[in-house]
Amino acid sequence: MAVAAGLLAASPSTAQQSGADEQAARPWMDTALSADARAGLLVQALTQDEKIRLVHGELAIPFLGATVPPGALGSAGYVPGIERLGIPALQETDASLGVANPFNVRPGDSATALPSGLALAATFDVTLAHDGGAMIGQEAWRKGFNVLLAGGVNLARDPRNGRNFEYLGEDPLLAGMLAGASIRGIEEQHVVSTVKHFALNDQETNRNWANSVIGEAAARESDLLAFQIAIEQGRPGAVMCAYNLVNGEYACGNDHLLNGVLKGDWGFPGWVMSDWGGVHDVDFALKGLDQESADALDKVAYFDKPLRDALSAGTISQDRLSAMVRRIFRSMFAAGLFDHPPVKSPIDYAADSEVALRVAEQGIVLLKNDQGLLPLAATANRIAVIGGHADAGVLSGAGSSQVIPRGGPAAVVPVGGEGMLAPLRKMVFAPSSPLKAIRAAAPAAQVKFDDGRYISSAVAAAKWADVVIVFANQWSIEGDDLPDMTLPSGQDALIAAIAAANPKTIVVLQTGGAVAMPWLAQTPAVIEAWYPGQRGGEAIANILFGKTNPSGHLPITFPKSPDQLPRPELPGIRMPQGQRFDVNYNVEGADVGYRWVAARKLAPLFPFGFGLSYTSFDYGGLSIAGGQTMQVSFTVRNTGKVAGMAAPQLYLASAAGQDEVRLLGFDKVSLAPGESRRVTMTVDPRLLADFDEAAHGWRIRAGTYAVKLGNSSRDTVLDASTAMDAAFLKP
């Protein structure tokens, strides 16, 4: 026993010696050093072959003839580690709305499915965005992943964009702040997050050949500003460059965007990875690309043999290769991939499901509520629920962001088609039945369901009912844009017929973006539920029956029709695949969405920022201070009879004598009846400035600046003005 005790007593020092020996052999494992210093030490230990191995990844799903590589979990991508140096593999998964499992490559592996990005944006809640990111990051870490292809921040320039549902709306401040908060939540879980798709990837039609044409100032004040804010707020480890061209150069080989703006002006320290199949030449390495993703999808694995050849020829330097790898390592150390590697472990799905419910409830937007039809009384006698597969579940968007929800899909409807994304073209319904939730909310009512396939039977159900709840869906998918803004499959005609049969008709929209509503005048109540995630049915019922007070606000403008858009016809829609075409974003420039309709004095169907509540809010005590920094304070009070959440929005009205409309600030404030709160907003000076191309920076003109405070971009209730000093800011 004495010997055993002696051995036990010696074990701590032995362990300490072992740790010291490891640190001496691997000095980059010294956690007292900065991420930059650790990355530099590790790069010095690599051979050229090892460096090359780290700058091109493998496809890790059985797709287009590929197989899952040894060591890969089965996901979007995989970069093998280097065991001799303790470098972990990069296990990459799509995770915009939850941890994806494409083609069920990991049999039976499901994840918490959040509502769409637009639903999150409609919450106007930065804290909730952080919580959603943290939830996804934690689930990914416990599944063994350490890189998330998340952080979509492309602006909604066109409501027909098939990928709008993934993104965060049309305003750079709102999108950037929410994306940044979500990214920060992910990175705090010791997981690298991307921000994507850099940049101006604002439509899906022929996205590999679309050339986004835009001036420097317009880009800086819109799409690029959204990315800049997201990067500042979230500090992502990686930026994913886009498929499209920008001003004639592919985004993944765009020297101005990657070297000039991202790494130069913004000082981004992380790495740039390509989108899957987005590399077209080895010289993209010279133009700022650091890593080729899923090289099997490119014409050639450019960052493998062609890169070796370029290094031998001297057209790409060893220093550039080392810099590429150093950026990857820097982000890995900063996020904790070396010090806190993923551990496959149990996941608290019940707690995560509550996050999904909170996003769904706060993201639902009450668009219309005439005569106080909502909330419905629990004592309603006869309720007809019609259409939208409401008996099964709630709709989700499709593409690489598709999540297999907990419990599995309630229904899957294959759509088919051609092209690389054909296997992903299927409508997936999350198992959260609105019909079931409505019956639970009104147990004494007779609730009849009609699938809406035939107008005659739907009208009969509507005539039978005291109140009708009609569900209307618009499905969208990555890779395709929508042909127009109408609801598909004759749903507009269905709604019109139902509304004519019963004046108490409520429309629940589940859409990927803005839709036209030719029946709006005939329907007293409309809610926009977006794609509401795995607790969506419950969230919708909670809103309908008043268990939850709606607090969502539109993160996009709802135009009346495509005629109100900068490009009424979708660019490239008539072009064959493989033929380049221009998308002229100089038409609107930085005037995206609400700024476009304001500049053109158009009246949209619903404005940016719009959203009704079951209570009322009053704003007062507006004060403003200017000079070098603008700060605005005000009081918001709940003047109604029920608790609710206000989303105060501050807009610029004019700048130094020039009319402008820009979102300057927003907040989400929860208030009990009669409660008030003082809110202070400090305005980002770039939102008061114009980008000066000649001087290469942001310029604030001296003069008087007027602001307006209110509930939407068109419903402002207070105004104030102040003098601002002239200022010049770095880009």
The residue written with tokens 């977006």 in the block is 530
pTM given for the model: 0.95
pLDDT at 7 over 60: no
Non-local (6+) Cβ contacts of 156 within 8 A are 118, 164, 167, 169, 170, 202, 513, 555, 556, 592, 593
For the record, the structure tokens of 236 come out as 């992502």
Where on the phi/psi map is residue 386: left (φ > 0), alpha (ψ -120 to 50), or beta? beta
- pLDDT bin (cut points 50, 70, 90) of residue 535 is very high
The architecture (CATH level 2) of 34-335 comes to Alpha-Beta Barrel (3.20)
Contact criterion met (CB below 8 Å) for 286 and 306? no
The mean pLDDT value for 313-340 works out to: 99
The residue written with tokens 């004495």 in the block is 2
- pLDDT bin (cut points 50, 70, 90) of residue 1 is very low
CATH superfamily of 615-729: Immunoglobulins (2.60.40.10)
pLDDT-wise least confident of 21-25, 433-437, 547-551, 628-632: 21-25
Nearest Cα residue to 254 out of 201, 317, 217:
201
The mean pLDDT value for 382-406 works out to: 96
For the record, the structure tokens of 449 come out as 């369901």
pLDDT score recorded for residue 66: 82
pLDDT at 22 over 70: no
Helix-then-strand count for the chain, H and E: 17, 32
- Amino acid in the structure at residue 81: G
- pLDDT bin (cut points 50, 70, 90) of residue 107 is very high
The mean pLDDT value for 255-275 works out to: 99
Tens digit of each residue's pLDDT (9 = 90 or more) over 60-71: 998 888 889 999
pLDDT at 392 over 70: yes
Question: In angstroms, rounded to a whole number, what is the distance separating the alpha carbons of residues 629 and 626?
Answer: 6
The residue written with tokens 């941890």 in the block is 99
pLDDT score recorded for residue 414: 86
Question: In angstroms, rounded to a whole number, what is the distance separating the alpha carbons of residues 650 and 664?
Answer: 5
pLDDT score recorded for residue 63: 83
The mean pLDDT value for 686-707 works out to: 98
pLDDT at 11 over 60: no
Contact criterion met (CB below 8 Å) for 490 and 470? no
pLDDT score recorded for residue 378: 73
Tens digit of each residue's pLDDT (9 = 90 or more) over 439-471: 999 999 999 999 999 999 999 999 999 999 999
pLDDT score recorded for residue 2: 39
Question: In angstroms, rounded to a whole number, what is the distance separating the alpha carbons of residues 328 and 624?
Answer: 44
pLDDT score recorded for residue 594: 98
- pLDDT bin (cut points 50, 70, 90) of residue 10 is very low
pLDDT at 230 over 90: yes
Strand order in the sheet with 697-700: 690-692, 697-700, 727-729
Beta bridge partners of 506: 469, 525
Nearest Cα residue to 538 out of 347, 358, 349:
358
Cα–Cα distances in Å, from 335 out to 36, 269, 395?
A: 12, 13, 34
- pLDDT bin (cut points 50, 70, 90) of residue 3 is very low
- Which fold does the domain 355-564 belong to in CATH? Rossmann fold (3.40.50)
For the record, the structure tokens of 452 come out as 């809406």
The mean pLDDT value for 213-236 works out to: 99
The mean pLDDT value for 16-45 works out to: 87
Percent of the chain with pLDDT over 90: 92
- pLDDT bin (cut points 50, 70, 90) of residue 14 is low
pLDDT score recorded for residue 19: 56
For the record, the structure tokens of 403 come out as 């999540």
Question: In angstroms, rounded to a whole number, what is the distance separating the alpha carbons of residues 539 and 360?
Answer: 6
- pLDDT bin (cut points 50, 70, 90) of residue 5 is very low
DSSP class per residue in 91-148: EEEE-SSS---GGGSSTT--B--PPPHHHHHHTT-HHHHHHHHHHHHHHHHHHT--EE
The mean pLDDT value for 196-201 works out to: 98
Long-range contacts of 582-585 (CB under 8 A, 24+ apart): 582/211, 582/213, 583/202, 583/203, 583/210, 583/211, 583/212, 583/213, 584/213, 585/157, 585/200, 585/202, 585/212, 585/213, 585/214, 585/218, 585/219
The mean pLDDT value for 295-309 works out to: 97
Q: How far does CA 600 lie from the centroid of its chain?
A: 28
Domain boundaries along the sequence of the chain: 1-30, 34-335, 355-564, 615-729
Which residue of the set 275, 298, 450, 480 is catalytic? 275
pLDDT score recorded for residue 417: 72
Where on the phi/psi map is residue 593: left (φ > 0), alpha (ψ -120 to 50), or beta? left
Tens digit of each residue's pLDDT (9 = 90 or more) over 584-638: 999 999 999 999 999 999 999 999 999 999 999 999 999 999 999 999 999 999 9
pLDDT score recorded for residue 423: 77
Percent of the chain with pLDDT over 70: 96
pLDDT-wise least confident of 14-18, 624-628, 636-640, 668-672: 14-18
Please report which residue ranges of 26-55 form alpha helices under DSSP H.
Answer: 35-44, 48-54
The mean pLDDT value for 527-540 works out to: 98
Looking at every residue in the chain, the average pLDDT score rounds to 95
Instruction: Specify whether 275 is catalytic.
Output: yes
Contact criterion met (CB below 8 Å) for 237 and 187? yes
Helix (H) or strand (E) holding 21: helix 2-25
Q: How far does CA 670 lie from the centroid of its chain?
A: 24
Tens digit of each residue's pLDDT (9 = 90 or more) over 488-520: 999 999 999 999 999 999 999 999 999 999 999
Contact criterion met (CB below 8 Å) for 310 and 317? no
Instruction: Look at residue 645 and give its three-state secondary structure.
Output: strand
pLDDT-wise least confident of 57-71, 146-160, 427-441: 57-71
